[in-house]
Amino acid sequence: MIRTSEPQSRLSAADTVRSYKLLAQVEHAFRCLKGIDILVRPIRHRDEQRVKAHLFLCMLAYYVEWHMRKALASLLFDDEQLDEDRKTRDPVAPAKPSAQAKKKKLVRVTADGLPIHSFETLLADLATRCRNRCRIKSDPNGTPFTHLTQPTPLQQRVFELLELLPVTGTARS
């Protein structure tokens, strides 16, 4: 049973339950901070400013991850319709995945042929992009240059969804 001091005209019973269930998102954020997503480990700060700075950086990391997950939802196993469905479905009944989410898990490929990933495996795929510092072997005293690997179609799509312009090519330094 959930009680509230708000009148029914202001907050219906269904909206009261929905509001209560939003706590799950807060709990998820703390699990994300402490768990495998962001890997915040205990750091023993003694200075108040450092404690505040550490907490700020942890929350900033979660905020960035949250936005990345929203932007990359089409490439992840996440149910993209979940937020919209929460507003209208019975708040007490167990949530059911959307038809789109079921199809994603079954087919494991996006409409444009890219593989569906978990957030962790997508980050691992992005980590294969390399920046190599090179020097011509025949000219050991020559100016070194940087060479970037070409992004894969998946990496290119991630950059587009995050509205990032990938750096490509070779640059002299």
DSSP string, 94-110: PP---HHHHHHHHH-B-
| Residue 31 structural domain | 1-71
Domain presence at residue 3: yes
Distance, in Å, from the CA atom of 30 to the CA atom of 95, rounded to the nearest integer, reads: 22
pTM for the whole structure:
0.73
Extract the tokens encoding 159.
């950059």
Number of domains observed in the structure of the chain? 1
- Domain membership flag for residue 21: yes
The tens-digit pLDDT sequence of the chain (173 residues) is 788 888 888 988 888 888 888 788 788 777 777 766 666 667 777 888 988 888 888 889 889 988 999 999 999 998 888 878 777 888 888 878 888 888 888 999 998 899 999 998 999 999 999 989 998 888 888 889 998 889 999 999 999 999 987 666 555 55
Question: What are residue 138's phi and psi, to 5 degrees?
Answer: -75, -15
3-class DSSP state of 44: coil
* Residue 94 is assigned to a structural domain of this protein: no
Instruction: Give SS3 for 146.
Output: strand
Token pair listed for 101: 């989410």
The answer to whether position 56 is within a domain reads yes
Q: What does the pLDDT look like over 115-125, one tens digit per residue?
A: 999 998 999 99
pLDDT of residue 77: 92
